[in-house]
Amino acid sequence: MSDRPGSTPASPAATPAVKTRRFNVSLVWIVPIIAALVGASMLISNGLNAGPQIEISFETAMGLEANKTQVKYKNVVIGQVTAIALSDDRSHVVATVDLNKSAEGFTAEDSVFWVVRPRIGANGISGVDTLLSGAFIGADAGSSEERKKEFVGKETPPAITYGEQGKRFTLHTEDLGSLDIGSPVYYRRIEVGQVVSYQLAEDGKGVDVEIFVHAPNDKYVTTDTRFWNASGIDLTVGASGLKVNTESLSTILAGGVAFVEPKYSPNATPATERSRFDLFADQETALAPPDGEPRYISMSFNQSLRGLAVNAPVEFLGVNIGRVVSVNLDYDAKTKNFPSVVGAVIYPDRLGKAHEKLLKEMGTEDDERSAKLMSAFVKQGLRAQARSANLITGQLYISLSFLPNAAPVAFDVAARPLRIPTVPGSLDKVQEQLQGVVDKISKLPLDEIANNLNGSLSEMQKTLRQVNAEVLPQMRGTLQQTQKTLAAANSTFAEDSPERQQLSQAMDEVQRTARSVRVLTDFLSRNPEALIRGRTKQGEPDAFRSPGNTSREIQSDAQP
What is the band of 187 on the pLDDT scale with cuts at 50, 70, 90?
Answer: very high
Of 528 and 300, more confident: 300
Query: Taken in order 500, 503, 508, 511, is the CA torsion positive or negative?
Result: negative
Alpha-helical regions (H) of 343-405: 353-362, 367-379
Question: Which of the residue ranges 197-206, 487-496, 519-528 would you say has the lowest mean pLDDT?
Answer: 487-496
Helix axes 367-379, 353-362, angle to 10 degrees: 110
Closest by Cα among 302, 313, 339 to 424: 302
The two beta strands, 234-238 and 241-245, are antiparallel
Q: In the Cβ-directed half-sphere of 76, how many Cα atoms lie within 13 Å?
A: 8
Indicate the residue type of 370. Answer: S
State the chain's maximal CA–CA distance in angstroms. Answer: 243
Bigger pLDDT: 374 or 85? 85
CA distance 257 to 263: 19
Residue 145, pLDDT score: 86
- Report H helices in 409-471: 426-443, 446-466
- Confidence band, pLDDT 50/70/90 cuts, at residue 162: low
pTM over 0.75, yes/no: no
Q: Nearest CA to 115 among 81, 141, 83?
A: 81
State phi, psi for 289 to the nearest 5 degrees: -60, 160
Q: What is the mean pLDDT of the chain?
A: 79
Least confident of 186-195, 434-443, 462-471, 506-515: 434-443
Residue spans of alpha helices (H) in 261-385: 283-287, 353-362, 367-379
Q: Rounded to 5 degrees, what angle do the CA atoms 259, 264, 270 make?
A: 50
Please say if the pLDDT value at position 552 is more than 90: no
Give the list of residues 6+ apart from residue 162 with CB closer than 8 angstroms, or none. Answer: 140, 141, 142, 143
pLDDT recorded at residue 2: 43
3-state SS, residue 240: coil
- Which of the residue ranges 210-219, 347-356, 389-398 has the most confident prediction, judged by mean pLDDT? 210-219
Give residue-wise pLDDT tens across range 88-130. Answer: 898 999 999 999 888 888 889 889 999 888 766 555 566 656 6
Using CA of residue 537, residue 549, residue 541, residue 552, what is the dihedral sign?
Answer: positive
In angstroms, the Cα distances linking 457 to 444, 445, 450, 451, 452 are 20, 18, 10, 10, 8
Name which residue leads in pLDDT, 101 or 209: 209
Contact yes or no for 78/72 (Cβ under 8 A): yes
pLDDT tens, residue by residue, 413-459? 888 888 989 888 766 666 666 777 777 777 778 788 888 888 888 88
Q: Measured between alpha carbons, how far is 484 from 479 in angstroms, rounded to an integer?
A: 9
Residue 200's pLDDT is 92
User: What is the length of the chain?
Assistant: 560
pLDDT band at 209 (very low <50, low <70, confident <90, very high): very high
Crossing angle of the two packed helices 551-558 and 498-526, in degrees rounded to 10: 90
Weakest mean pLDDT among 76-90, 206-220, 222-236, 545-559: 545-559
Q: 495 burial class (0-12, 13-18, 19+ CB within 10 angstroms)?
A: exposed
Predicted pLDDT of residue 548: 45
Distance CA 516, CA 508 (A): 13
Cα angle at 459 between 454 and 460, to 5 degrees? 95
344 DSSP β-pair partners: 297, 324
| Strand, coil or helix: 422 | strand
- Average pLDDT over every residue of 21-49: 71
CA distance 238 to 430: 26
Strand-pairing partners, residue 98, are 53, 80
Residue 431: per-residue pLDDT: 63
Radius of gyration of the chain (CA): 58
Higher pLDDT, 296 or 365: 296
Least confident of 25-34, 245-254, 279-288, 379-388: 245-254
- Quick one: which of 117, 102, 107 has its CA closest to 156? 117
Asked whether the beta carbons of 110 and 100 are under 8 A apart, the reply is: no
pLDDT band at 293 (very low <50, low <70, confident <90, very high): confident
pLDDT of residue 17: 53
Q: Is the pLDDT of residue 170 over 90?
A: yes
Predicted local distance difference test score (pLDDT) of residue 57: 93
Q: Per-residue pLDDT tens for 488-502?
A: 777 776 666 777 777
Work out the percent of the chain whose per-residue pLDDT is above 90: 18
Residue 160's nearest CA partner among 129, 185, 131 is 185
Determine the residue type at 49.
Answer: N
Question: Concatenated DSSP letters for 77-131?
Answer: EEEEEEEEEE-TTSSSEEEEEEEEGGGGGGGBTT-EEEEE--EEETTEEE-TTHH
Q: What phi and psi values does residue 499 have, to the nearest 5 degrees?
A: -60, -45
Res 222 pLDDT > 70: yes
